[in-house]
Amino acid sequence: MTDFFEILYSCRAMRRLKPDPVPDELIAKILRAGMQAPNGGNTQKWRFLVVRDPAIKKAVQAWYKKAYDEVIGPRYGSSEPPPGVTKDKYKRQHDAVEYLTEHYHEAPVWIVACLEDGPTPNRSAGASIYPAVQNMILATRALGLGTTLTTRHLLFEKEAEAALGLPPGVHSYAILPIGWPMGKFGPVGRAPLDEFVYQDRWGQKWPGASA
């Protein structure tokens, strides 16, 4: 078994995925990993929609691409690289984002992470679904499959959720497109710990960052 920290530190976003089939037994392992996550009061209001239907994926991809064309693409074009990422790596990331945008619907399996949270979910609602999403991302990596956390469809939430056929009172929080990766797993771009961690007072560096 691959070491947990090796999985964690090499869990690169995989936006280029092969169209090769992914068996249900692997998807079941990923879903079971998600359902081990903490959630508010153990109410387990999460629901997971496994999408293989090409027509459904293509209908959502249209909104995903519209969000890229109108919001995400221009943002990438005008933004500086994030912390710990060179301009060259940021350009490669942008290229991968463009690729996923065009081929989103070709990922063999989607897992749509949802909550039964009523008409007006509050700010804490994500605490009951995003830990499950992270568990599924790590499980996907452990199985040698690729995925990336996508939420862009939420820019056109009503339209995308209608395309997904979600009932009233159920909202999507993320879509994980899953497939065998074209690229290789490796380290993610992050800035040093001491740029983000403080001790006792905001802005006061945590001395343990160099440990």
Do 68 and 101 meet the contact criterion of CB atoms below 8 Å apart? yes
| Identity of residue 22 | V
Q: Which residue has the higher pLDDT, 189 or 176?
A: 176
CA atoms of 28 and 60, how far apart (whole Å): 23
Find all residues with CB under 8 Å of 49, minimum gap 6, and list them: 110, 111, 112, 114, 164, 166, 172
CA atoms of 187 and 171, how far apart (whole Å): 32
Give the model's pLDDT for residue 160: 98
Structure token digits, residue 189: 């771009």
Do 88 and 136 meet the contact criterion of CB atoms below 8 Å apart? no
pLDDT tops 60 at residue 186: yes
- Residue-range domain boundaries for the chain: 4-210
Q: What is the mean pLDDT of residues 170-180?
A: 97
Q: What is the mean pLDDT of residues 48-74?
A: 97
Which CATH number applies to 4-210?
A: 3.40.109.10
Structure token digits, residue 127: 């605490």
Lowest mean pLDDT among 16-20, 78-82, 111-115, 174-178: 78-82
| pTM greater than 0.95 (yes/no) | no
Structure token digits, residue 161: 């959720």
Give the model's pLDDT for residue 155: 97
pLDDT tops 70 at residue 205: yes
Q: Which residue has the higher pLDDT, 53 or 190?
A: 53
Q: Please write the tens of the pLDDT for every residue from 115-174.
A: 998 777 777 889 999 999 999 999 999 999 999 999 999 999 999 999 999 999 999 999
Mean pLDDT of the chain: 94
Q: How far, rounded to the nearest angstrom, does the alpha carbon of residue 106 sit from its chain's CA centroid?
A: 16
CA atoms of 211 and 208, how far apart (whole Å): 5
CA atoms of 104 and 17, how far apart (whole Å): 9
Give the model's pLDDT for residue 119: 76
Q: Please write the tens of the pLDDT for every residue from 77-86.
A: 788 888 888 8
CA atoms of 39 and 126, how far apart (whole Å): 9
Give the model's pLDDT for residue 87: 87
